[in-house]
Structure 1
Amino acid sequence: MKWKGLGESDNVEDRRGMSGKGKALVGGGVIGIIILLLNIFGGENAQMLTPVLEQMNQGNTTEQTENRELTVEEKEIGSFASTMFKLNEDTWSQIFIENGQDYDKPKMVLFYDNVETGCGSASSASGPFYCPADNKVYMDLRFFEELKSRFGAEGGDFAIAYVIAHEVGHHIQNLLGTSDKVRQLQAEKSEAEGNKLSVCLELQADFYAGVWAKHNSQYLETGDIEEALSAANAVGDDAIQSKMQGHVVPDSFTHGTSEQRMYWFNRGYKTGDISQGDTFKGLLN
């Protein structure tokens, strides 16, 4: 992606390399995989799983203290993430203006290992996530190595851009009241029906990521969209369940199939029109 020389966001807090103690998972293991599978590209329920993680992982943690200068590579990827966040700010500010609304900008926190949020404590095993309580996107940028090595996604910087745009998509849903409507309906539904609503929420965030990509197509390079689609394909519920447990359980899906995730990102990219992103098909009416 063509990004060098573009402005960076003023709303990014980089906590990587900061000194501080916290319990970190040793080697990840089964617990890390469980949390990752449940929260990848969304992570909205990460805070609810933290007590479970701490209880099950007792005796398998280590105290870590870190206070160091970031490497050149770490600074580079941080700069890229900040630039992508700025492009999201600019894009959604303009879209909201065109629709007669003001855009309340979120913030983004870059971290390693673990982080305190308005939604509670979270570890890097949670994957990237958005916390509606503090309107912040949380990104452990080491996650993308996991995405490539464990789930087979293609490398490249646009996979990072896609994930950031997806998480900002959850902020859009928060601003528009979509997230609140979903939570209210889920309280009245069975677990399976509630999961279907979660899938709709995640697919719409994928759609918003596609809309963002369309509005910034002048910066795209050959292969960028393919990188985003590869990431979406790798983290479909069916692909993850098939890889990790050898079979799929559709009623347990919370983020959508690979095909659905790729379809809705593509739909957003092809139309660039937020009115075309009704993934709920009347369920919220």
Structure 2
Amino acid sequence: MTTPRVLIFGGNGGIGRLMAALMLANSWHVTSVIRDTRQEADIFQLGPKLGPKADVLVVDLAHMKDEDASKIVTQVKPNYVVFAAGNMSNVNAVDRDAAKKVIKASVFSSDVRKFIMISFPASRRKRAPWWDETDYQNYLDEIRAFPEIAKAKLDADEYLVAMAKQRNDNSPSVFQAISLRPSWLTNASKGKVHLGKTNFSGQVSRADVAAVVVSLLSRDDTTGWFDLVEGSDDVETAVDKAVRDNMSSIEGEDLEQMYSKAR
């Protein structure tokens, strides 16, 4: 089996580092995109002491152009791309615009087979059909508290859906697009999660998010939106259930409206 090549945007974030460490422990080839050269030393420490280390690219995503994203993907030739970057002070430039540039570059690359966006459960236009009234009110509260983030993340998520459909409609190679939507993040790993259609309110550890990403990337049958909170299943069981039962949390959204965003 060919060693997977993974390109991580947001490589210096908590989830980005944990993902890279897990991937390197599995002997995957990892390229981590970071914003500041001062972060390089920490990235080079990730992974087994005597094992492979990540390659590093220093890029300011807030000022990245379309052609820059294309050059990165062309240079690295990843099989999997993970967008885990975010910037609370420049949400539209990073969480929305940079994400869309990376999505477009990935879709147009025949090397890329899988793309995971790290999003969040409030990234939707409609009330999820499985939510109770408390879930719905908590969703509305979060939208009101973080309107700019909610809009930016939703725009990126919907663009990924649209561009993935365009790629799959016009290419013989399958492109798997996943929006992973963890709830409030903690640092205390529990090792037990609920993935798919979950309650809106909850929390989940960064380590468990990273483990779910690696599990999802390790499969050839996974696409869609997956909400993630603490739960009662180990990661592999949770992923198996979500895929087997088609528990994509995109249910209830307007797919045709999303598909119109492809360009």
Q: Which has the higher strand share?
A: 2
- More contact order relative to length (CA 8 Å, sep ≥ 6): 1
Q: Radius of gyration: which is bigger?
A: 1
- TM-score under structure 1 length normalisation: 0.27
Q: Which has the higher helix share?
A: 1
